[in-house]
Structure 1
């Protein structure tokens, strides 16, 4: 363990027993491109002289090329550990001997990272978070494709992908180069295709880069693909078109640098995919910035709220429910009319339920403040991402998708309702206006209040707790929206024209020209058009409310349900004339018995036809899904 040294910032290994302390003299920091770090350390011998050593730590495949002698079983050991999901770091050291201070300062990184003696492996166990499997299962079940972007070894990444069910096909193919040094490999990334091959994890299967042996389409359906950082550079340089074809089938990107994570996100966007990136470190900043939606995870935070915080939230919800209940006044007054003085125990006994909940909440907050909770500090990832989770769990990704789907569906259905209402009003208040048909002030006010209430309660819809496999349509310009609006308006238009013509037939014939500026006078045609217009506009809310599987259904959205029931009841009351005074207040005349029955039948038929047309269009064109290029990669 390294501890802070003197004011110069050097780190010192604390002494144990008679061992001399090690002072770090020179440090070459870790970089994602080199996959290693190196230091020069010195210790004082018993004779008082300073002896220097170099120590290197990094990826096993990188350190292997720097060793003077590779011990037997080196590759098998670190690969076996990586296949179990552990992070493996290799250690190497070299004796530099006694050097002058100037000689130590003149040492380059190349002088330190050669002819090393193998010093062992560091094995880091990284168990999965408690809810990771469930969250990934829900994401994949909701018609999304998930990909791993990591700087870890591809064997470790493949193990994690298998545990989380990212991969469920017959085998995983990894793009690898023939055995050669990293320097030679980096200088010949664009060499001919024969130097690279797709191999399975056991090395028993080898296919060419183009997968010509089995065919590209067959291979993408049969195998999951894993691309390392070096393989990504090779494909991007030598075969950019092949990379775009393979990209939807790649499940794992391993040993990738921060710039390569950014490149992967950019390539997905070039293929017109919508991307969500979830990361927790500085190396994820570029990818978080370029993704359509970036989510930063705080690695030092707990994966679930603390027990005290959960109790506070429960108390808050219970207190909110109590505020909706009427409170009773409690107190005693003496004979003179003055309030009697109570003791502390009497005051606590006379608290209302709401005050008791507030007192409990304050007590829980005090207990929470006394707890020594972890102080979470925001990092670079949270600065680059528009969303930051207070917990280390990835459950927040599901929350974002649920809220996004609910908002999208609500917006689309409001556009449909606005389009239908605009078409209905356009006919009833423009074309029919030329025939002298208009609404009174009371009628327009009532209509506006009902529509405003319905729009308000639609916008307050809540998402369902589970993500559905069905995906919502991405925009309003689609076959479902256009077809359902046209078919519903055709039904509404027929209803409006037919009932107006019937009302004209039984109304007294008008003589002379129509006076457009004449004051409103209630008559059969005005009342008929108002009832039809109000009924059609209310029915558009009931028919076009989507509900499940993206948000709560109409039965669960109680405010909207009650608003629609009241609106339909009002229309029936005005049509039947249950309360004559109410009808006269809104200047609706009493309809003839035969015409009243016809009016109700036509309105019922219009509602049924519009509902059937919308459900038919929804079944034919209303369900979204994964893009065709990702269907073979979905799990």
Structure 2
């Protein structure tokens, strides 16, 4: 065993991880549009202040000094201390931005104070996965909403609630994802989606001025990012609609009404923003108006991309059915090998 000895202490090395240049401006825009911003302590209260997640003096909830078993809120520089009281959190949040750690989350759960405290917290520190779920459910319980892929989240939610059919099907699902059906399905849809995206972006570039856009420059709406957003959204919707496995195992799309309504709503939303029916909505989404010719192409290509993917998927399900149970194929292989050994 080697032990370090004879070393002379010279000091600490402190490294500063720079923040992305666009973080502060983007979060400022979100806050200006009446969104509440939250962060974890991986950025720390200092960084949260730099990127405009918090703008007031911060107070961090932690165990009180001493062995009295209480809790207190302390400023990051420990110059200001407030005794914790769940009934005063609302008033305290008017003057301070509140922060909390994962260890104190357990205290809130034990004292049934989560709904009184969590909705006012801006910075969450080192919380466990189950505590993150508690944070989200607490926000939802008091009427708050987290905007993270709304349509995509709705699709996953409604697909998970699809009910199996009351009778077992004579057909069998594919026993493994490493089969011709899955590989050809993914390859075909990937080809169509990439071709659709590249063609749409190139069509938009024809209407763009020939100027160099810096990758890290401030965001400015233009035809390319507008078309990219529209195409990306439509590809997600088409993927869920095409890959949904209904009969003979689960409810069909028409029977799964919530999922059907979500698909119709997403397609309707795509049609509205593409056709520019409500200019104020597109301005709020930072989408620029599309030239009429480009708009018509985008609508037509979207329909054709969905039609090709849907037809390809149905053809593969017909050409590569999953009727053969996995053990039968293996049994045939074993039997054949045994007969060869006898010969």
> So what's the TM-score if we normalise by structure 1?
0.28
**1:482–1:492 Cα change, 3 Å:** same
| Cα separation, 2, equivalents of 1:530 and 1:475 | 34
Following the alignment from structure 1 to structure 2, what is the Cα–Cα distance between the partners of residues 578 and 615? 34
1:594 is aligned to 2:293? yes
In structure 1, which of residues 581, 592, 595 is the aligned counterpart of residue 280 of structure 2? 581
Unaligned runs of 5+ in 2: 1-145, 333-343
The question of 1:460 aligning with 2:161 is answered: yes
1:497 has 2:227 as partner:
no
Q: Secondary structure at the match of 1:554?
A: coil
User: Structure 2 residue aligned with 1:526, among 225, 230, 246?
Assistant: 225
Aligned counterpart, 1:248: none
Deviation (angstroms), 1:625:
2.5
Between the aligned partners of 2:190 and 2:230, the Cα distance in structure 1 is 17
Of 260, 263, 267, the match for 1:568: 267
Aligned position for 1:546? 245
Which residue pairs with 2:321 in the alignment?
A: 622
Please tell me whether residue 486 in structure 1 is matched to residue 187 in structure 2.
yes
RMSD: 1.6
Give 1:508 shift. Answer: 1.2
Residue number in structure 1 paired with 2:235: 536
Residue 517 of structure 1: which of 210, 216, 219 is its match? 216
8 Å CA contact 1:447–1:534 kept in 2: the answer is no
Q: Deviations over 1:348-380 (max 9, x none)?
A: xxxxxxxxxxxxxxxxxxxxxxxxxxxxxxxxx
After superposition, give the CA deviation of every residue in 1:136-176 in whole Å (9 maximum; x if it has no partner): xxxxxxxxxxxxxxxxxxxxxxxxxxxxxxxxxxxxxxxxx
Query: Cα distance 1:486–1:601, how it changes in 2: closer, same or farther (>3 A)?
Result: same
Please identify, of 484-493 and 500-509, the stretch whose mean Cα deviation from structure 2 is larger: 500-509
Q: CA deviation at 1:447?
A: 7.2
Q: Once the 2 structures are TM-superposed, how far is the Cα of residue 622 of structure 1 from its aligned partner?
A: 3.4
Structure-to-structure mapping, 1:369-384, within 5 angstroms: none
In the alignment, what sits opposite 2:254? 555
Counterpart mapping for 1:368-447 below 5 A: none
Correspondence 1:13-92 to 2 at 5 A: none
Q: Is the 8 A contact 1:503 1:525 kept in 2?
A: yes
Q: For residues 447 and 507 of structure 1, do their structure 2 counterparts lie closer, same or farther at Cα, with a shift above 3 Å needed? A: farther
Q: How does 1:328-407 map to 2 (within 5 A)?
A: none
Residues in 1 aligned to 2:206 and 2:276: alpha-carbon distance in whole angstroms = 22
Change over 3 Å in CA distance of 1:614–1:520 after alignment to 2: same
1:515 offset after TM fit, Å? 1.5
Q: Highest Rg: 1 or 2?
A: 1
Structure with more strand by fraction:
1
Deviation digits for residues 433-479 of structure 1 (CA, Å, limit 9, x no counterpart): xxxxxxxxxxxx97711111101111111110111100111221211
- The 8 Å contact of residues 193 and 305 in structure 2, kept in 1 or not, is answered as yes
Q: Distance in 2 between the 1:457 and 1:473 partners?
A: 23
Distance 1:446 1:574 in 2: 19
In structure 2, C-alpha distance between the alignment counterparts of 1:538 and 1:447, rounded to whole Å: 16
**Cα separation, 1, equivalents of 2:207 and 2:216:** 24
Query: How far 1:554 moved relative to its partner?
Result: 0.5
Query: 1:577, 1:583 within 8 Å by CA — same for their partners in 2?
Result: yes
Higher relative contact order (CA 8 A, sep 6+): 2
Relative to structure 1, the CA distance from residue 446 to residue 504 in structure 2 (aligned partners, 3 Å threshold; closer, same or farther) is: farther
How far apart, in 1, do the equivalents of 2:235 and 2:180 lie? Answer: 23
2:151 pairs with 438, 443, 450, which one? Answer: 450
| 1:553 alignment partner, SS class | coil
Unaligned runs of at least 5 residues, structure 1: 1-444, 631-635
Match of 1:314 in 2: none
Mapped to 2, the partners of 1:594 and 1:557 lie a distance apart of: 36
Any idea what SS the aligned residue of 1:587 has?
A: coil
Question: 1:547·1:554 contact (CA, 8 Å) conserved in 2?
Answer: yes
| Offset from partner CA, 1:414-446 (integer Å, 9 cap, x none) | xxxxxxxxxxxxxxxxxxxxxxxxxxxxxxx97
Aligned length, in residue pairs = 184
CA distance in 1, matches of 2:289, 2:255: 36
Q: Which whole-Å CA distance do the structure 2 matches of 1:535 and 1:460 have between them?
A: 23
Cα pair 2:175 2:322 within 8 Å, conserved: no
TM-score (norm 2): 0.52
